[in-house]
Structure 1
Amino acid sequence: MKKAAIAPALPAAQLIDARIAEYPDWRGDVLARVRALIHAADPAVVEEWKWSVPVWSHGGILCTGEVYKKAVKLTFPKGASLPDPVGLFNASLDGNARRAIDIPEGDQIDEDAFKVLILAAVALNTAA
């Protein structure tokens, strides 16, 4: 019996582009904007596709980007260990490790604080 040929997976960047295109409303705009902010903060970031969601990594996962009906959720698996002086984290606050940022329609994220948070996640992941 022949094994079925497995098509090579699309690059993560193309899958993320496709996810953004799936949402021609505010959610696609928000996901595209946070993606641009992540790249601006860390030009060495690696885009991945895991669990059917966009993942941004550098020395480990920085955050994931999930799209829901009422919010775009950015989950930081080590968020509880990150400084958040302006209070960007507003979801998953009761866990021991992760924290999340829910961005509902019409909300704006503090771009400078978000970039600082990304850099703090990079520093945590790459600390020896």
Structure 2
Amino acid sequence: MKKHTRDATPAEQSGCASQLIDGRIEELGDWRGEMLARVRGLIRQADPQVVEEWKWRGVPVWSHGGILCTGETYKSVVKLTFAKGAALDDPAGLFNASLEGNTRRAIDLHEGDSLDEAALQALILAAVALNRSR
């Protein structure tokens, strides 16, 4: 019986978060997997030292000196939630969800949405800088 990636044990999680994220992308098998793979690639390009984690029973997390963002997938959206997004400048206006809180900000990506890749990478770098400054 194949174990679903969201049922991984803590021991499995610690050694193979990247493999679990690969599995999630493959498991989705639709536009959400493609979008998650795309943003993951952009995050890794922006910060080659980013650490991939697998938390909360199935959420891809990217960290560098603390959590940068998570990549949750739902039926009709891929949600990138920036842990300290409220403290980040967003001149391109990528943040379009979770705007009411004092800490987090999110980017909801729907099927067919375009993505300003340079602006996303700038947000990643700003999040890294913020984490390193604290």
Q: TM-score range by the shorter chain?
A: over 0.9
Quote the residue 1:107 is aligned against: 113
Q: Deviations over 1:60-89 (max 9, x none)?
A: 000000000111000001000000001000
Find the aligned partners of 1:83 and 1:8 in 2 and give their Cα distance.
37
Q: 3-state DSSP class of the match of 2:70?
A: strand
Flag the structure with higher helix content. 2
Change (3 A) 1:17 1:83: same
Identify unmatched segments of 5+ residues in structure 2: 1-8
Structure 1 stretches of at least 4 aligned residues deviating more than 3 Å after TM superposition:
none
- 2:39 corresponds to 1:34: yes
Change (3 A) 1:113 1:50: same
Quote the residue 1:3 is aligned against: none
Identify unmatched segments of 5+ residues in structure 1: 1-5
Quote the residue 1:54 is aligned against: 60
- Normalising by structure 2, we get a TM-score of 0.89
**In angstroms, what is the RMSD of aligned CA positions?**
1.3
Q: Deviations over 1:24-51 (max 9, x none)?
A: 1100000000000000000000000111
Q: 3-state DSSP class of the match of 1:121?
A: helix
- Normalising by structure 1, we get a TM-score of 0.93
Quote the residue 2:129 is aligned against: 123
Aligned runs of 1:1-128 on 2, under 5 Å?
8-10=11-13, 11-51=16-56, 52-128=58-134
Larger radius of gyration: 1
Q: 3-state DSSP class of the match of 2:12?
A: coil
**Percent identical residues:** 69
Q: 3-state DSSP class of the match of 1:15?
A: helix
Aligned residues: 123
Find the aligned partners of 1:88 and 1:42 in 2 and give their Cα distance.
19
